[in-house]
Structure 1
Amino acid sequence: MSEQTVEEAAFARLVENPDSSQGLTEAANADEPHNALRHVASLTASKVADGLVDPKLVLSWLLTSLGSPAFYVGLLVPIREAGALLPQLALAPWIEAMAQRKWAWVAGAAGQALGAFGILISALTLSGAAAGAAICACLAVLALSRSVCSVSYKDVLGKTVAEQHRGSITGTASTIASAGVIVFALLLMSGLLGRELLVFCAIGLAACLWAIGSTMFATLREQDSEGASDDFEPLKQFHLLKSDPQLTRFIAVRGLLVATALAPPYMLLFAGSEGAFSQLGALVLASSLASFASSYVWGRLSDRSSRRVLQYSGLAGGASLLLTLALGAAGLLSTIWALPLSIFALMIAYHGVRQGRSTYLVDMAPEDKRSAYTAVSNTVIGVLLLISGGFGALAGLVGAGATLAAFALMSFAAAALTLGLDEVEGA
């Protein structure tokens, strides 16, 4: 059996209706089996690395163990999240000017490898405030590199994988990657290895995985693009919010659905957890199991209707948060099973949000504007994430339970807003 035949057979198992070629040129359609498998490999490596260098869990524990001030621990999530989103509008014209935009993702993945390696070296050689400052600086490099990958990936995916296959490809990568993170979570919980050594090894492995992903992505067969026009100006891209009401509504839906990403710390607070390392390991496990169980399914559903995936995710997110409130009211949330169950349910919704929004944006955006649509959307969400610290103030005033109730309302409101979104698959 030839190598090409092997690729075609594997591709046929990954997707529904492998003969579909909607959204691709004839040349790109011929290369789709080759490209799809490389998307899976590269994206899997990147997603595993993301799980190993999680600022909410892994890096927070690392800085605490190194004796870094709480100030630096508090900077980790804003640097990682907003840093990966806000630069994208400025990066969009550079990426749209490239004939082959895969090289932007290659460079971004290599940059993330360097950032992770810098974090490891800093952790091995520094302590206290110096370690906190150095690790935050390296995380900023990683976040900026991630923004390059994010703004370029959807465009490359749109050029190399057909519309009805994109969700299956990205969902497969998420499912495989979650299995790797499950192993990491089990090791954290087992205590078989020293925690500090395990964290150091995980960060080093993440650096290697990003380097491998970069190398694999370079082997994609991407057709040349014409590039952006010379008058492409980043700030002017916000006119898309006025000229395309569907984009504005999509961003509103996505903005409300950030509740599924912001809620977990408040669930811990509501449960009265002290955030012990072993408990965090259990929550990592619950999140990974949710990804493993749902990502591929969400991906296949997204190929049929990513709008409905966003709708179902909003409903599931709101329901899981109401479940958390109900368990708390019944006095059950402190039991060994209740909080992991709540996190598991919420993370199923969260992974649906990630899958649905990614597929919807790629399929909605005009071919020559995918980078601009991605950058505008991510910039607006980045600003929202920067001001999301206000939820901490809300929790301080009215309590974590009321904050979770607000997140539930946001999720249900997002589900309602999806009723006004167009169906973009097969359009």
Structure 2
Amino acid sequence: MKVQPSSNNTLDHIYQKLVNEEDARVCTDISEHACKVVPGNFLLQIIAQFFTKLGDAIASPKTVLAWLFGALSVPGIFTAFLVPVRESGSLIPQLVIASYIRSQQLRKWAFVIGCILQGLAILAIAAMALTLSGAAAGAAIIAALVVFSLARGLCSVASKDVMGKTIPKTRRGRLNGWSASLAGLATLGVGVVLWLGLGGDGGELSLFALLLLVAALLWFAAAFAYGMIEEEPGATAGGKNAISEAFARLRLLIDDVPFRRFVIARSLLLCSALTAPFIVILAHDNTGAAAAMLGLFVMADGLASLSSAPFWGRFSDTSSRQVMVYAGATAAAVGALLVAIVVLFPALAASPWLYPLFFFVLAIAHAGVRLGRKTYVVDMAGGNKRTDYVAVSNTVIGVVLLLAGSVGALTVIMPVTGVILVLSAMGFAGAWLSSRLPEVSG
């Protein structure tokens, strides 16, 4: 066992405070040199992730971009594509992206390039907000969002591979937890801004552009911080023909049974993300105050990450599998319980406080699902196989997201409460399947 050397410098002191252990006897799966520079790499990755997550909060397609489309009188068909393009566009191409990353000895530069491209795409959206309107603005912004999403996929694969090379196994959950917690604090601030109604009347296009400019600068700052990470050169096997290599890796879903079960479980646990907008819709249907409550929902989301992410991160280092189980079951229970209250107690259903409260608990569960599955997929494989696992699972999830997003069409034949129950059933199934996964932490 390699032992990480201790020192009295400020960097090591901050690191020890964040991981909350004086004896950092953890370097069992990274190199001797990587072990010596863990504190600096740990903090740089927290900083970079914080900047990107804050940028995501400011340029969120669920809030800021959706409101921007309203201000620009963009047709609804473009608004419907905001979230699917942002999420699936960054996931589906990851098999090909992974082949490119595997051809690079230093993978951190892929993350840097991805951050720069995301910043440029957001700058383009800000410019379009000031110069275009209607369908032209919708088409142009969606096109920029495609570039943003592809660049986001580049960062997603690269970051997990770099984390696996530079951060020891029992510290990765805490890294994700602290960055998510800090981002939650920032998201809380964004929610306060929305709650105060800044830009909410659709006439403050200059304020929208300013918010997007700030978001772009955050991605540039993340690129700078990530470029300072000390990463050792890695193997480049498998970086030949991107398309053929990509399809070859899909065999992991057939040959690797534990990985296949993880992907299925992760797909079912999408309920934690998909339930959220339906809670907002339910609030609108029963209180008529969804627009006024939007800031409260965003604040609830930020407060949930701020308060729960460090707990989920530490728990993930102990057992990321159990985090997926408990968080997934909680997300499913939130939806089922809310439906029960709305159906059985109509008087409570009209109370505006009910929905942000349940949204808050759901956001806590969603933070757990995200941290659990991120830590699990990094811990379950080493070396280049880690890149394959991340790329294959993300590509499959991107397709599943497009299909699962169509669950919203069920509102044509059933009430919103029925859709929430369908998603809750998915969540319970995902939690059960997660409980049958092998332990990979520790």
> For this structure pair, what is the TM-score category when the shorter chain's length is used for normalisation?
over 0.9
Distance (whole Å) between structure 1 residues aligned to residue 216 and residue 311 of structure 2: 29
Q: Are 2:313 and 1:299 equivalent residues in the alignment?
A: yes
Question: CA, structure 1 residues 68+4, in 2 after alignment: closer, same or farther (shift >3 Å)?
Answer: farther
The equivalent of 1:393 in structure 2 is: 409
Distance (whole Å) between structure 2 residues aligned to residue 307 and residue 151 of structure 1: 21
The equivalent of 1:144 in structure 2 is: 150
Q: CA deviation at 1:58?
A: 1.2
8 A contact 1:323–1:342 mirrored in 2: no
Distance (whole Å) between structure 2 residues aligned to residue 201 and residue 165 of structure 1: 36
Question: CA, structure 1 residues 378+192, in 2 after alignment: closer, same or farther (shift >3 Å)?
Answer: closer
Q: Give the RMSD, CA atoms, in angstroms.
A: 1.7
1:88-137 alpha-carbon deviations (Å, 9 max, x no partner): 01111110111000000000011110111111011011111111111111
The equivalent of 1:319 in structure 2 is: 333
Distance (whole Å) between structure 2 residues aligned to residue 50 and residue 124 of structure 1: 20
1:335-394 alpha-carbon deviations (Å, 9 max, x no partner): 121000010011111110110010000000232211111110011110111112331222
Q: Are 2:54 and 1:48 equivalent residues in the alignment?
A: yes
Distance (whole Å) between structure 1 residues aligned to residue 392 and residue 12 of structure 2: 36
The equivalent of 1:9 in structure 2 is: 13
Aligned partner of 1:263 among 275, 297, 320: 275
Q: CA deviation at 1:21?
A: 1.0
Task: Report how many aligned residue pairs link the two structures.
Answer: 425
Q: CA deviation at 1:191?
A: 3.3
8 A contact 1:364–1:424 mirrored in 2: yes
8 A contact 2:118–2:152 mirrored in 1: yes
Distance (whole Å) between structure 2 residues aligned to residue 288 and residue 206 of structure 1: 17
The equivalent of 1:77 in structure 2 is: 83
Aligned partner of 2:262 among 250, 256, 260: 250
8 A contact 2:274–2:405 mirrored in 1: no
Distance (whole Å) between structure 2 residues aligned to residue 46 and residue 112 of structure 1: 9
The equivalent of 1:207 in structure 2 is: 216
Q: Are 2:39 and 1:37 equivalent residues in the alignment?
A: no
Q: Are 2:25 and 1:19 equivalent residues in the alignment?
A: yes
Moved more, 84-93 or 274-283: 274-283
SS in 2 for 1:62: helix
SS in 2 for 1:398: coil
Aligned partner of 2:377 among 361, 368, 373: 361
Question: CA, structure 1 residues 278+260, in 2 after alignment: closer, same or farther (shift >3 Å)?
Answer: same
Question: CA, structure 1 residues 188+123, in 2 after alignment: closer, same or farther (shift >3 Å)?
Answer: same
1:52-63 equivalent positions in 2, closer than 5 A = 52-63=58-69
1:137-176 equivalent positions in 2, closer than 5 A = 137-176=143-182
Question: CA, structure 1 residues 192+121, in 2 after alignment: closer, same or farther (shift >3 Å)?
Answer: closer
1:161-211 alpha-carbon deviations (Å, 9 max, x no partner): 010001111110111111111111111112367763443322111100000
Distance (whole Å) between structure 2 residues aligned to residue 55 and residue 93 of structure 1: 29
Q: Are 2:360 and 1:344 equivalent residues in the alignment?
A: yes
1:2-59 alpha-carbon deviations (Å, 9 max, x no partner): x981110011011144331122110100010110000010000000001111111211
Distance (whole Å) between structure 2 residues aligned to residue 180 and residue 159 of structure 1: 28
The equivalent of 2:3 in structure 1 is: none
Q: CA deviation at 1:265?
A: 1.8
Q: CA deviation at 1:152?
A: 1.1
Distance (whole Å) between structure 2 residues aligned to residue 42 and residue 190 of structure 1: 28
**TM-score of the pair, normalised by structure 2:** 0.93
SS in 1 for 2:251: helix
Q: CA deviation at 1:304?
A: 0.6
1:269-296 alpha-carbon deviations (Å, 9 max, x no partner): 3331657433211111111111111111
Structure 2, unpaired ranges of 5+:
1-6
**TM-score of the pair, normalised by structure 1:** 0.96
Distance (whole Å) between structure 2 residues aligned to residue 275 and residue 371 of structure 1: 45
Distance (whole Å) between structure 1 residues aligned to residue 168 and residue 306 of structure 2: 24
Distance (whole Å) between structure 2 residues aligned to residue 355 and residue 333 of structure 1: 32
Question: CA, structure 1 residues 259+350, in 2 after alignment: closer, same or farther (shift >3 Å)?
Answer: same
Structure 1 segments of 4 or more deviating over 4 A?
192-195, 273-276
Distance (whole Å) between structure 1 residues aligned to residue 200 and residue 84 of structure 2: 29
For 1:420, give the aligned amino acid. Answer: R
1:142-176 alpha-carbon deviations (Å, 9 max, x no partner): 10100000111110000000100011111101111
1:122-133 equivalent positions in 2, closer than 5 A = 122-133=128-139
The equivalent of 1:335 in structure 2 is: 351
8 A contact 2:289–2:352 mirrored in 1: no
Q: Are 2:186 and 1:180 equivalent residues in the alignment?
A: yes
8 A contact 2:44–2:226 mirrored in 1: yes
Distance (whole Å) between structure 2 residues aligned to residue 376 and residue 186 of structure 1: 38
Aligned partner of 1:108 among 101, 111, 114: 114
For 1:36, give the aligned amino acid. Answer: F
Moved more, 295-304 or 11-20: 11-20
Moved more, 147-156 or 324-333: 324-333
8 A contact 2:280–2:290 mirrored in 1: no
Aligned partner of 1:408 among 405, 424, 427: 424
For 2:91, give the aligned amino acid. Answer: L
Aligned partner of 1:235 among 213, 234, 247: 247
Question: CA, structure 1 residues 171+198, in 2 after alignment: closer, same or farther (shift >3 Å)?
Answer: farther
Could you tell me the percent identity over the aligned residues?
38
8 A contact 2:187–2:301 mirrored in 1: no
The equivalent of 1:381 in structure 2 is: 397
Structure 1, unpaired ranges of 5+:
none
Q: CA deviation at 1:425?
A: 1.1
